[in-house]
């Protein structure tokens, strides 16, 4: 199958939406290969993801959004048009812990993540050899005595490299509003806790002190509110009173790599629709 177009649609729930979208694709020579939808009864909002073949379609990529506008205006839709062969320019940020970075670079090298990884940046020098092995430039941005200057340098780097997606692979720095605002719903973080429990620093120690029986990991979009952005993916593992803080951290690392990879893949495959502080993630 050749490249496909993806319509990500949000609108007030009403009759005729599905029929109108399908009719638009059919009338202009498209073949729908995947369609999913969800209705939120509390907010009265309809969400849909429609993917269709571009071969033989009446409109080119640059004209598709404009051509769909009458349907969007008729139903009051918010519309995002994506394409399956897009490879967003992606930056991976990491601190000292290597496990999420290793996993992401390995999956990317194996062709599992449809992105162009253009850089790895870190506030420590530890990952230079790993990045070099994968043919990705590594940028060491130490914090030193001036955190503001370090983050300004980071933002300058992301802008200069025309980065479209940022993945925080256990990057243990809080991003300023300037960075977050530059990439709305385009920064994905992995938090080593089943949010909203144990936000902030040392969540495994917090969990151990609370005596929890499950631990978790959460991947979410980054907002200015620490660890409160829209959640994309989560998972848990059972633990017991026998587990030390180190045991929890070890078990948690297995969750972190899996949850982050699933969230990044869902985002890159255009399967995530943010809505307020929530997301709809299509399968």
Distance, in Å, from the CA atom of 260 to the CA atom of 105, rounded to the nearest integer, reads 12
Q: For residue 42, what are its two tokens?
A: 């509390």
Cβ pair 25, 50 in contact under 8 A:
yes
What are the angstrom distances between the C-alpha of 188 and each of 25, 26, 37, 79, 222?
Answer: 32, 35, 24, 21, 6
In a 3-state reduction of DSSP, which class is residue 95?
A: coil
In a 3-state reduction of DSSP, which class is residue 275?
A: strand
Q: For residue 106, what are its two tokens?
A: 């390995």
Of 230, 274, 238, nearest to 255 by C-alpha is 238
DSSP 8-state class, residue 229: S
- Considering the four listed CATH numbers 3.30.420.40, 3.40.640.10, 3.40.50.170, 3.30.530.20, the one that applies to the domain covering 89-281 is 3.40.50.170
Say if 4-83 and 89-281 have the same CATH topology.
no
Residue 94 backbone dihedrals phi, psi, to 5 degrees: -145, 155
Each of the 283 residues of the chain gets a pLDDT tens digit; together they read 799 999 999 999 999 999 999 999 999 999 999 999 999 999 999 999 999 999 999 999 999 999 999 999 999 999 999 999 999 999 999 999 999 999 999 999 999 999 999 999 999 999 999 999 999 999 999 998 899 999 999 999 999 999 999 999 999 999 999 999 999 999 999 998 777 677 777 888 888 888 988 888 999 999 998 888 999 999 999 999 998 989 988 999 999 999 999 999 999 999 999 999 999 999 9
Domains of the chain by residue range? 4-83, 89-281
What are the angstrom distances between the C-alpha of 108 and each of 75, 82, 92, 114?
Answer: 38, 20, 11, 7
Distance, in Å, from the CA atom of 133 to the CA atom of 248, rounded to the nearest integer, reads 30
pLDDT of residue 164: 98
Whether omega before 201 lies within 30 degrees of 0, making that bond cis, reads no
In a 3-state reduction of DSSP, which class is residue 152?
A: helix
Distance, in Å, from the CA atom of 108 to the CA atom of 106, rounded to the nearest integer, reads 5
pLDDT of residue 74: 97
Decide if 227 is catalytic. Answer: yes
In a 3-state reduction of DSSP, which class is residue 154?
A: helix
β-bridge pairing 272-275 and 231-238: unpaired
CB count within 10 Å of CB 192 equals 24
pLDDT of residue 196: 67
Return the CATH fold of 4-83: Alpha-Beta Plaits (3.30.70)
- pTM for the model stands at 0.93
3-class secondary structure for 222-234?
CCCCCCCCCEEEE
Looking at 13, 23, 62, 227, which residue is catalytic? 227
Q: For residue 204, what are its two tokens?
A: 């495994």
């Amino acid at each position: 199958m050749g490249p496909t177009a993806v319509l990500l649609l949000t609108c007030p729930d009403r009759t005729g939406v599905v029929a109108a979208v399908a009719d638009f694709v059919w009338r202009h020579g498209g073949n729908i290969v995947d369609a999913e939808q969800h209705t939120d009864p509390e907010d009265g909002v309809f969400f849909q993801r429609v993917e269709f073949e571009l071969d033989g379609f009446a409109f080119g990529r640059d004209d598709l959004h404009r051509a769909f506008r009458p349907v969007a205006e008729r139903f009051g839709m918010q519309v995002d048009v994506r394409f399956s062969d897009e490879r967003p320019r992606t930056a991976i940020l990491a601190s000292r812990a290597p496990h999420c970075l290793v996993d992401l670079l390995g999956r990317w090298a194996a062709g599992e993540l449809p992105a162009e990884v253009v850089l790895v940046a870190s506030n420590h020098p530890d990952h230079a050899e790993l990045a070099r092995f994968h043919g990705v430039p590594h940028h060491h941005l130490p914090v030193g005595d001036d955190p503001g200057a370090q983050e300004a340098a980071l933002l300058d780097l992301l802008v200069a490299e025309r980065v479209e997606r940022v993945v925080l692979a256990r990057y243990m720095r809080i991003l300023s509003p300037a960075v977050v605002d530059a990439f709305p719903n385009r920064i994905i973080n992995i938090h080593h806790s089943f949010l909203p429990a144990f936000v902030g620093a040392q969540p495994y120690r917090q969990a151990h002190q609370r005596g929890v029986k499950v631990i978790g990991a959460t991947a979410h979009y980054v907002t200015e509110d620490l660890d409160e952005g829209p959640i994309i993916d989560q998972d848990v593992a059972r633990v017991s009173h026998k587990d030390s803080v180190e045991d929890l951290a070890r078990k948690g690392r297995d969750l972190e790599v899996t949850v982050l990879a699933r969230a990044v893949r869902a985002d890159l495959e255009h399967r995530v629709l943010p809505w307020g502080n929530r997301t709809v993630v299509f399968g």
